[in-house]
Amino acid sequence: MGQPVSNKACVLVGPKKIEFRDGDTDVMVRVEASGICGTDITIYKNFGLGRAALTKPVVMGHEAAGVVVQVGEAVVDVAVGDRVAIEPFFFCKRCHNCKQGRTNLCKTPRQAGFGDVQGILSQYYVCESDFVVKFPDSVSWEEAGLGCGPLACLVMAVARAYGVSKILAIGRSQARVDFAKNTWADYAVVSPPFDEGQDVIDWAEAFKTTTMEEAGVDSYGVDIAVEATSAEAYVHAGMTFLHPGGTYVQAGIGRPIDSFPTFTIVAKELDVIGTLRYTAGCFETAIDLLASGKIDLKPMITAVFPLSKAVEALECAIKGEGLKVILMNQQV
């Protein structure tokens, strides 16, 4: 088991065109822990993601960590026994964007757990060695398998690790807001409800005024706003909270937004940044933050299930009963 292995495969690459490939750069990972995220929930509920419906069964999951149990003959940077996190977004390495380091914008991307790519909610997983990242024993399986996690919470954790002086957290869930108060946020508040009949700009301005006063923040505005829900009202609120010349980051979006505050962007001369997935080196940075103790994600893990209870785990995540649900893949 510990020796490099060859795995000859017959690959159909076109009509009547076969290539024999070695798989000599592949590794096999015994998966120890997997995280469930919002994308998994959407695929589970709809058998697809947005307009991209699945057409055949697929193994779910794209957040995982485990132990390398086999390596291909050409693998040099990873060895049997290494603890690794699996990067789930397989970029081509050849297109213009990949060569520029913007691997998240790969022209021919493939993602674990969607389309024709099997996911990682399994006991073993095979992928190229370039898509696994080693991590030390000081990082638990659950933390390593956490993946993106509840995005806003991770944004706060990283902001605190990098020395942001004051963090304001806004959420729709009292439980999430309470968690933010007890971890990384200096001030956290449940947002007021937004009704479709309301003027979104008036709502955002009133919300800003009240929040800034209660948080003891200069009413001029904040330096950076990170929006992680893609809810239209919160996009407006994020830009309203910024001071002129501030920076707005859209950290997650699951659907098109009908109304975008273009006037606010121009009038306040805001820098607006979109983010998609991650780029090369992000996994290593995240592992360094965990291993150094600069961030502690254990409080985010609120439910752990064996792999055999995957349905119960997914239903728990749907109900929002915890922040992050983890599956232990070797427990069946």
Given this model, what pLDDT does residue 44 score?
93
Given this model, what pLDDT does residue 45 score?
93
pLDDT, mean over the chain: 91
Given this model, what pLDDT does residue 10 score?
81
Say whether pLDDT at 141 is over 60: yes
In sequence order, which residues have a C-beta less than 8 Å from that of residue 284 and are 6 or more positions away?
133
DSSP 55: -
Given this model, what pLDDT does residue 283 score?
94
For residues 7 and 212, the model is more confident at: 212
Task: Report the DSSP beta bridge partners of residue 301.
Answer: 324
pLDDT digits (tens, 9 = 90+) for 27-52: 999 999 999 988 899 899 999 887 78
Given this model, what pLDDT does residue 322 score?
73
Given this model, what pLDDT does residue 3 score?
57
Nearest to 146 by CA among 24, 226, 61, 271: 61
For range 304-317, the mean pLDDT: 96
Distance CA 189, CA 210 (A): 10
Distance CA 155, CA 229 (A): 13
CA distances from 118 to 62, 124, 187, 241, 247 (A): 9, 11, 41, 42, 37
Highest mean pLDDT of the ranges 20-24, 67-71, 145-149:
67-71
Say whether pLDDT at 330 is over 70: yes
DSSP 192: P
Encoded tokens for 12: 């159909």
Given this model, what pLDDT does residue 7 score?
62
For range 308-320, the mean pLDDT: 93
For range 131-136, the mean pLDDT: 96
For range 126-148, the mean pLDDT: 90
Given this model, what pLDDT does residue 252 score?
75
Share of the chain above pLDDT 70, in %: 96
Res. 148 pLDDT band, cuts 50 70 90: low
pLDDT digits (tens, 9 = 90+) for 254-286: 778 888 899 999 999 999 999 998 998 999 999
Q: Of 54-58, 262-266, 317-321, give the lowest mean pLDDT range.
A: 317-321
Res. 147 pLDDT band, cuts 50 70 90: low
Given this model, what pLDDT does residue 5 score?
56
Q: Of 10-19, 94-103, 309-318, give the lowest mean pLDDT range.
A: 10-19
CB 168 within 8 A of CB 240: no
Share of the chain above pLDDT 90, in %: 70
For residues 196 and 286, the model is more confident at: 286
Given this model, what pLDDT does residue 4 score?
57
Given this model, what pLDDT does residue 1 score?
45
Domains assigned to the chain: 9-146+297-328 (3.90.180.10), 151-274 (3.40.50.720)
Given this model, what pLDDT does residue 36 score?
94
For range 200-227, the mean pLDDT: 93
